[in-house]
Chains A and B, each alone.
Chain A
Amino acid sequence: SAVISQKPSRDICQRGTSLTIQCQVDSQVTMMFWYRQQPGQSLTLIATANQGSEATYESGFVIDKFPISRPNLTFSTLTVSNMSPEDSSIYLCSVEYISNYGYTFGSGTRLTVV
């Protein structure tokens, strides 16, 4: 399975600022997925990022708030823009791997907005 390096692992940010989260995969993957896990909750899909095209956002998530970059088949970034305390969550990236079919997750970014 693929191995994902996600950073930062945690951050405390001031409201109104932006944070960019990076995910680096050790192999080329077609699809990368970004999730949010609010405190004590399950994972909610934010968007799907396909290399070379605009990300596809789920209902309730917009590009202006969560812009995504996918410059190549091993890397993606998610930016949380104009943050408010309600954005305090864990953000995770995920990739699908074809051999022995499954999904791998990054270790997550724990974001606290103050």
Chain B
Amino acid sequence: GDSVTQMEGPVTLSEEAFLTINCTYTATGYPSLFWYVQYPGEGLQLLLKATKADDKGSNKGFEATYRKETTSFHLEKGSVQVSDSAVYFCASANQAGTALIFGKGTTLSVSS
């Protein structure tokens, strides 16, 4: 069945460092891909998404590009801040009307 695999953390960075969190997917078709963020003590928030190959999602300085050839949707940010400390989840949805499938989540900790 469909699945999402993301690098496991924790990832610990200094402020202004470059961030990459790897995410790959397996699917029978061409799913829509999402990154969600969960800040400490808060609910899940959509960070960015891409619905077709070569689409780039971006938000709050984060970017991810839908790469069909490598079945990947890696999350990147050029300069992280302490406020980016959170758990990041990669997710996919194979078609409209189906539930999101989540990766295991990656905990990011940024220190000043």
A interface, CB within 8 angstroms of B: 1, 30-31, 33, 41-45, 48, 92, 94, 96, 98, 101-108
Is there contact, CB below 8 Å, between B43 and A33? Answer: no
11 pairs across A/B with beta carbons < 8 Å? A41-B104, A43-B100, A45-B100, A94-B100, A96-B96, A101-B32, A102-B49, A103-B46, A105-B36, A107-B42, A108-B43
Given A101-B51, A102-B34, A103-B46: A48 in contact with B99 (beta carbons within 8 A): yes
| A45-B99 CB under 8 A given contacts A92-B44, A103-B46, A105-B43 | yes
Residues of B within 8 A of A (CB): 32, 34, 36, 42-44, 46, 49, 51, 89, 93, 96-105
Whole-angstrom CA separation of A1 from B102 in the bound complex: 20
In the complex, what's the smallest C-beta–C-beta distance from A32 to chain B, in angstroms? 10
| A interface: dominant SS | strand
Residues of chain B within 8 A of A102, CB atoms compared = 34, 46, 49
The answer to whether A43 and B49 touch across the interface, beta carbons within 8 angstroms, is no
Cα distance A25–B30 when bound, in Å?
Answer: 29
Q: Give CA–CA (A68, B46) in the complex, Å.
A: 25
Q: How far is the CA of A59 from the CA of B98 in the complex (A)?
A: 16
**Distance between Cα atoms of A30 and B97 in the complex (Å):** 8
Chain A residues, CB < 8 A from B49: 101-102
Indicate if the CB atoms of B97 and A31 lie closer than 8 Å: yes
Which chain B residue has the least Cβ–Cβ distance from A104? B46
Besides A42-B104, A105-B44, 20 new A-B residue pairs in contact (Cβ under 8 A), listed by A number: A30-B97, A43-B44, A43-B89, A43-B100, A43-B102, A44-B102, A45-B101, A48-B98, A48-B99, A94-B99, A94-B100, A96-B93, A96-B96, A98-B96, A101-B51, A102-B34, A103-B93, A103-B100, A104-B46, A106-B43
